[in-house]
């Protein structure tokens, strides 16, 4: 329980959420206020009582203690402490606390308030003292060596990253936006004098006009404008982020606190109670040697050259190190007090500047915020350079001796698997139980991923010894920090694809593609197991909890062109106990196959409904085991009983079927009598379909069945009406009902999808192969190619969703069950649909569909190039030492982004790859050699794209000019910034955000100094939402929002608020899911016409997104656009312009100039400029919007109408306005026809402009 969780018992609009608790999920838990009695550090008195409001009584005392340790007044005490409940006696506040005594028993004899020790594992509601309102005191315990060391580290961490002050939860008006369909009544305001009101309005508009006068259109796209600072202000592309760079650094309290050279403690001194020795150098440059003892800390008589561990003259034992430092260093006392004042001020700056609520930043780390945009602190692709690298002896000792973050765990290494399985086994029958369970799992996942990243770097850098050093390097496995690691590798032979084993899932060597499939299938398998567990626990007839299947927590880490797979350890597997406990599948590539009946039945409950896998009859590959086995999984999938007696399932690679489209007609026409071998699979890459495709196919079949039933029923009704006559009431006729029922039953239900995980493998005999499973493979492949891909392209044209970068493109494809390798085919279809408007038949007539925006097609090409360059980087790093990776990356990026226009080779071979690898790490390349490198790299990439992306040939990048004629009309490399951004993202490279890059150089834009770091990229099996209930609540809220009546808005707001409350209980407010809830609440409030509240929620959502590291994602762009519209509706035009300009800036950075979304925002920007009376800027914005419409004539028609209006209002030039209105009229007439409302409106405006022009001419003549 974090401080934000304690404070967030209700959250915004809590009353609304409570009203529907019985419908949407859990009701709010009862809460109490906790009063904490704290002594000021370095004083003798308890003078302050802090109140923690709304602490849930279901939390335990340990969680409360963690919250108190985050309070500035108590953070100097470490976890070596306990809570006591004391009576709220006013006289207690004047009770003196003795600092210490010369005796080491001084702590025990101090006159602290005497209270009752609280059990840390008891719920707050079970503590009678707390329920009646007693005060709580945090009391240090006696130390041992480990807790003393942890106390020192804790204090150093506090000094480096001090906590923000505790804040109160603001009171929010209950469902203010949707009470009785209107906002709550405001007190009556006096009528203003119309003249005064008009004057104020004119002054406001004049001020805004002056404020925007310096705006540049089009919006400049500078790297230095990304983060807050002067360039961002100059370009007017300000973000909601707050920079603390201009402020002074946090005050330093002490120079050094490090282990003394007199460690370890001599035996005689151990008997005296000494635990460890510290060397302290204060700001006064005085050096003290300090002893840690069970009672606390005291200064001893040692010097740097003489050892004397006796207490110094007048030495006092202090319960905490901070109190000792205050006593020996006046500067420490002053700086320590100043430290928290500065933190409080900066926390207030962040809260006011970002739009966060106070409790959103309850866990705010101000020091981390100050450096969050810098390399080493951010995972963003563009970062600021690291600040001054100050000397810190304690930090240096820790970094050298830490052992990649595991030094503190060496004594008691964490059992990651036991923790994971224990959390998974926590009860989940009630929503309260599921919240506690989700909180534990969320914390576990974050800690496991963080440790896995550190350990994976150690493994990939060669700092960890393998468990099997005598095996080939590609088969090495490792254990570090109690996490199991193996390396993935690329193929070694040929200019082909990624894996080297045809029968994927049985190889002992992990490959890049198999890792991806494994993580995806583990995630899907976990979802099914969770649903099964929830159903079984909800069944009251089950008196005992049945055995459940368990999976391993799996993380894939990419770093420096290499990949490591991190997994929690199956108990006993390292001691070869797994052989005797092997229950299911094969562990030796199919030589022996196990099939335990009980485990097989358990796997069946998941594999059949979720993965559509039929029983598969298999036998061992060499025929040694004559008995055939029946499996519901691939042979390579293993079922193991660990030494903890749990049943584990692992290696899920072939859980989804192979993709027949990828392997061509050879595999489609291959009879079941033959086995699929390397010659058919190409040696090669495991092209599997996604689990989402199976779900989408089944849904499509069910929808088709429902439609057929509907048509059958309608036909019966029509026939019956013809027989009986239209005038007769027939709908309730029993005879008709009978016929309709018969017609419905006559429509056959769709066949259930049946798949075989072992089809075409050598583990099946000819007689055991299933023809239906093969037919279903063909149906899935055809469905993907003929249904999903065309539908995706058409939805792009319809603007059914927004694509702004490779991440949003990949996510949309995956959600629809489309593999990224189909990008080539998608791009080809998009090129075909990029030049004309389509007419789609609807019930209301033909609906025009605009062509595919050119920017989306270029986005597809950028994604293909970026993924191919990532592949080339991996291939290169197999041959080159890791320390040369920066040079390789610079040369690779420059070759891709170079303005070198020499003709590129059309294809490449293994020799080309070898030629590149031979020179890839050369630091200085120029002249003809560089031209050859550019040609070679681009040829390799083009060949790779053709091989992996359905034979696609690049049409917008690196296309050579024709020798006798102009270049292809699509040949233009005008999107280097989106390309650089995507390259950095997929390769895990961080570049300098303060530099501007020259893409016109033949040598490329990057220098070595521009590459600031390489970060590990992580894929996990963690679910996207903290709880399924949260996702369901959000989806239900969106459904109610679409209904848009008062009751549904009330319900939507309650559902979103309830989802937010659950998230706060699980993770705290600083989470992406919480930000999504804020977005939904803003939409509800906007629909309810409460724009100020909607604006506040949107600002808060944006701040939470940016706080979580999403500075340039799709959702951030959408929020900026929504903010611009809200500010415009509230006539806050200055803020509206800034938001629109920020959205344009981000879109140009992520997607490039060819975007209909950017054209639309420029259109809106022009309207706002018109509203503030700056017509010249409005004209420039409209001109820019028109230039970005591309072939989208429909959007251009609307923008031309706006242009005509701006010219008419701003310039009074009705002739020019008529010209633009006429152009719009011609477009609408061609697209919609002469009788459409838009066409008629254009014709009417043309008549208006003609009339006004005539009036203007008459007025001129009369003069």
* Domain end residue (candidates: 821, 849, 877): 849
Domain assignment present for 263:
no
* Domain end residue (candidates: 713, 742, 769): 769
Residues 586 and 466 in one domain: no
Quote the CA–CA distance of 777 and 847 in Å, as a whole number: 35
Sheet of strand 382-383, all strands in order from the earlier edge strand to the far edge: 382-383, 989-992, 1011-1014
Quote the CA–CA distance of 922 and 563 in Å, as a whole number: 24
Domain assignment present for 225:
no
Peptide bond preceding 20: is omega within 30 degrees of 0, i.e. cis? no
Residues 888 and 1011 in one domain: yes
Quote the CA–CA distance of 188 and 748 in Å, as a whole number: 66
CA distances from 1228 to 686, 1198, 1243 (A): 50, 9, 10
**So what's the pLDDT on residue 500?**
35
Residues 840 and 881 in one domain: no
Helix and strand numbers, DSSP H then E, in the chain: 43, 26
Domain assignment present for 635:
yes
Domain assignment present for 830:
yes
Residues 800 and 860 in one domain: no
Q: Which helix (H) or strand (E) holds 558?
A: strand 554-559
**So what's the pLDDT on residue 63?**
84
User: 3-class DSSP state for residue 940?
Assistant: helix
Q: Which helix (H) or strand (E) holds 735?
A: helix 734-746
The DSSP code for 311 is B
Is this prediction's pTM over 0.85?
yes
Work out how many domains the chain is built from and give that number: 7
Residues 780 and 900 in one domain: no
The DSSP code for 197 is H
Residues 824 and 945 in one domain: no
* Domain end residue (candidates: 1154, 1176, 1191): 1191
Q: What proportions of the chain, in percent to the nearest 5, are helix, strand and coil?
A: 50, 10, 40
CA distances from 1078 to 27, 248, 863 (A): 20, 33, 31
Which range of residues forms the domain containing residue 60?
Answer: 34-92+114-141
CATH number where 1151 lies: 1.25.40.10
Quote the CA–CA distance of 1221 and 1239 in Å, as a whole number: 10
Quote the CA–CA distance of 377 and 395 in Å, as a whole number: 16
Residues 1127 and 1163 in one domain: yes
Domain assignment present for 27:
no
* Sign of the alpha-carbon torsion through 1159, 1160, 1161, 1167: positive
Residues 909 and 841 in one domain: no
**What size, in residues, is the chain?**
1263
Quote the CA–CA distance of 463 and 467 in Å, as a whole number: 13
**So what's the pLDDT on residue 4?**
42
Residues 826 and 788 in one domain: yes
Residues 864 and 900 in one domain: yes
Beta bridge partners of 838: 849
**So what's the pLDDT on residue 992?**
93
Residues of the chain with pLDDT > 70, as a percent, come to 81
Greatest Cα pair distance, the chain, in angstroms, is 115
Residues 1096 and 1128 in one domain: no
Beta bridge partners of 375: none
Domain assignment present for 55:
yes
Domain assignment present for 402:
no
Contact 802, 808 (CB under 8 A): yes
1133-1150 and 194-211 helices, crossing angle to 10°? 30
Domain assignment present for 304:
no
Residues of the chain with pLDDT under 50: 1-28, 92-111, 169-187, 189, 407-408, 492-494, 496-507, 578, 678-684, 963-973
Question: Going by DSSP bridges, is the β-strand pair 382-383/989-992 parallel, antiparallel, or unpaired?
Answer: parallel
CATH number where 1071 lies: 1.25.40
Residues 763 and 787 in one domain: no
């Amino acid at each position: 329980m974090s401080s934000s969780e304690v404070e967030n018992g209700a959250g915004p609009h809590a009353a609304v959420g409570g009203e529907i608790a019985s419908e949407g999920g859990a009701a709010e838990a009862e809460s109490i206020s906790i009063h904490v009695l704290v002594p000021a550090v370095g004083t003798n008195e308890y003078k302050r009582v802090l109140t923690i409001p709304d602490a849930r009584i279901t939390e335990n005392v340990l969680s409360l203690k963690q919250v108190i340790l985050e309070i500035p007044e108590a953070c100097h005490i470490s976890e070596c402490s306990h809570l006591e409940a004391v009576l709220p006696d006013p006289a207690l506040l004047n009770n003196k606390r003795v600092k210490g005594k010369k005796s080491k028993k001084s702590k025990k004899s101090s006159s602290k308030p005497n209270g009752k020790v609280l059990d840390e594992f008891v719920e707050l509601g079970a503590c009678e003292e707390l329920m009646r309102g007693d005060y709580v005191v945090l009391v240090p315990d006696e130390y041992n060596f480990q807790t003393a060391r942890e106390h020192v580290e804790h204090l150093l961490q506090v000094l480096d990253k001090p906590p923000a002050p505790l804040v109160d939860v603001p009171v929010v008006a209950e469902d203010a936006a949707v009470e009785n369909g209107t906002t709550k009544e405001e007190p009556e305001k006096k009528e203003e004098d119309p003249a005064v009101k008009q004057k104020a309005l004119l002054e406001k508009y004049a001020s805004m006009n002056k404020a925007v006068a310096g705006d540049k259109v089009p919006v400049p796209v500078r790297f230095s404008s990304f983060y807050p600072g002067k360039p961002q202000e100059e370009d007017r592309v300000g973000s909601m982020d707050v920079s603390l760079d201009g402020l002074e650094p946090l005050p330093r309290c002490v120079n050094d606190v490090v282990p003394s050279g007199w460690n370890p403690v001599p035996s005689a001194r151990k008997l005296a109670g000494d635990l460890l020795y510290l060397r302290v150098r204060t700001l006064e440059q005085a050096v003290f040697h300090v002893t840690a003892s069970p009672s606390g800390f005291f200064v001893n008589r040692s010097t740097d050259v003489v050892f004397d561990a006796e207490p110094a003259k007048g030495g006092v034992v202090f319960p905490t190190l901070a109190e000792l430092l205050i006593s020996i260093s006046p500067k420490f006392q002053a700086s320590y007090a100043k430290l928290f004042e500065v933190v409080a001020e900066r926390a207030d700056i962040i809260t006011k500047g970002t739009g966060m609520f106070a409790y959103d930043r309850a866990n705010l780390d101000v020091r981390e915020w100050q450096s969050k945009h810098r390399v080493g602190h951010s995972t963003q692709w563009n970062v600021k350079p690291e600040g001054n690298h100050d000397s810190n002896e304690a930090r240096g000792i820790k970094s050298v001796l830490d052992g990649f973050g595991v030094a503190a765990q060496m004594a008691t290494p964490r059992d990651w698997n036991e923790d994971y399985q224990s959390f998974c086994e926590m009860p989940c029958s009630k929503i309260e139980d599921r919240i506690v369970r989700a909180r534990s799992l969320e914390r576990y996942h974050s800690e496991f991923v963080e440790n896995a990243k550190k350990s994976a770097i150690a493994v990939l850098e060669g700092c960890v010894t393998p468990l099997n050093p005598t095996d080939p390097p590609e088969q090495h496995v490792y254990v570090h920090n109690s996490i199991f690691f193996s390396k993935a590798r690329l193929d070694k032979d040929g200019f082909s694809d990624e894996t080297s084993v045809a029968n994927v899932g049985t190889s002992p060597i992990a490959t890049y593609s198999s890792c991806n499939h494994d993580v995806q299938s583990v995630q899907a398998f976990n979802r099914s197991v969770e649903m099964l567990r929830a159903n079984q626990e909800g069944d009251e007839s089950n008196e005992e909890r049945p055995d459940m299947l368990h999976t391993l927590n799996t993380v894939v880490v990419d770093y420096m062109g290499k990949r490591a797979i991190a997994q929690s350890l199956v108990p006993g597997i390292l001691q070869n106990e797994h052989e005797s406990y092997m229950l299911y599948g094969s562990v030796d590539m199919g030589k022996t196959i196990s099939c335990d009946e009980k485990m097989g039945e358990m796997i069946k409950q998941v594999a059949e409904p979720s993965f559509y896998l039929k029983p598969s009859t298999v036998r061992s590959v060499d025929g040694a085991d004559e008995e055939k086995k029946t499996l519901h999984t691939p042979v390579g999938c293993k079922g193991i009983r660990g030494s903890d007696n749990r049943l584990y399932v692992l290696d899920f690679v072939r859980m989804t079927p192979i993709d027949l489209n990828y392997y061509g007609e050879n595999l489609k026409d291959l009879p079941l009598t033959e086995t699929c071998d390397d010659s058919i699979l190409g040696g090669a890459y495991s092209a599997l379909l996604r689990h989402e495709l199976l779900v989408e196919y089944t849904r499509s079949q069910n929808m088709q069945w429902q439609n057929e039933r509907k048509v059958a029923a309608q036909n019966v009704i029509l026939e019956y009406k013809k027989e009986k006559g239209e005038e007769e009431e027939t709908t309730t006729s029993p005879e008709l009902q009978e016929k309709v029922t018969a017609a419905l039953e006559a429509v056959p239900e769709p066949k259930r999808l049946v798949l075989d995980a072992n089809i075409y493998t050598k583990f099946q005999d000819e007689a055991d192969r299933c023809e239906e499973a093969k037919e279903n493979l063909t149906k899935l492949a055809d469905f993907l190619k003929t249904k999903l891909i065309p539908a995706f392209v058409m939805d792009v044209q319809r603007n059914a969703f927004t694509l702004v970068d490779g991440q949003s493109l990949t996510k949309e494809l995956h959600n629809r069950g489309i593999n990224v390798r189909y990008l080539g085919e998608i791009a080809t279809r998009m090129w075909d649909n990029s030049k004309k408007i389509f007419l789609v038949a609807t019930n209301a007539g033909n609906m025009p569909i605009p062509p595919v925006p050119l920017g989306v097609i270029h986005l597809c090409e950028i994604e293909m190039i970026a993924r191919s360059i990532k592949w080339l980087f991996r291939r290169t790093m197999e041959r080159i030492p890791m320390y040369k990776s920066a040079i390789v990356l610079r040369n690779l990026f420059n070759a891709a982004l170079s303005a070198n226009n020499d003709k590129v080779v059309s294809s490449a071979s293994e020799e080309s790859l070898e030629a590149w690898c031979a020179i890839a790490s050369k630091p200085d390349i120029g002249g003809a050699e560089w031209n050859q490198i550019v040609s070679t790299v681009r040829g390799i990439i083009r060949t790779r794209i053709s091989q992996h992306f359905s034979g696609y040939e690049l049409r917008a990048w690196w296309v050579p000019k024709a020798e006798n004629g102009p270049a292809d009309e699509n040949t233009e490399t005008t999107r280097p910034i989106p390309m650089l951004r995507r390259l950095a993202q997929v390769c895990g490279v961080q570049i300098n955000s303060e530099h501007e890059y020259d893409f016109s150089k033949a040598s490329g834009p990057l220098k070595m100094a521009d590459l600031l770091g390489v970060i590990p990229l992580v894929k996990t099996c963690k679910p996207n939402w903290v709880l399924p209930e949260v996702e369901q609540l959000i989806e239900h809220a969106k459904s109610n929002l679409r209904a848009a009546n008062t009751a549904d808005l009330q319900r939507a707001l309650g559902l979103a608020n309830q989802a937010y409350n659950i998230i706060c209980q699980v993770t705290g407010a600083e989470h992406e899911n919480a930000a999504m809830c804020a977005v939904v609440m803003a939409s509800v409030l906007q629909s309810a016409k409460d724009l100020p509240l909607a604006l506040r929620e949107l600002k808060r959502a944006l701040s939470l997104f940016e706080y979580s590291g999403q500075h340039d994602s799709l959702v951030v762009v959408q929020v900026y656009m929504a903010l611009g519209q809200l500010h415009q509706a509230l006539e806050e035009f200055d803020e509206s312009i800034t938001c629109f300009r920020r959205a344009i800036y981000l879109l140009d950075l992520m997607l490039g100039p060819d975007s209909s979304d950017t054209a639309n925002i420029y259109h809106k920007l022009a309207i706002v400029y018109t509203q503030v009376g700056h017509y010249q800027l409005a004209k420039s914005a409209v001109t820019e919007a028109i230039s970005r419409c591309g072939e989208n004539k429909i959007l251009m028609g609307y923008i031309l109408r706006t242009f005509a209006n701006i010219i008419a209002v701003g310039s009074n030039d009705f002739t020019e306005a008529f010209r633009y209105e006429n152009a719009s009229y011609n477009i609408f007439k061609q697209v919609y026809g002469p009788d459409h409302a838009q066409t008629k409106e254009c014709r009417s405006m043309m008549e208006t402009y003609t009339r006004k022009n005539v009036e203007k001419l008459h007025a001129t003549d009369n003069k």
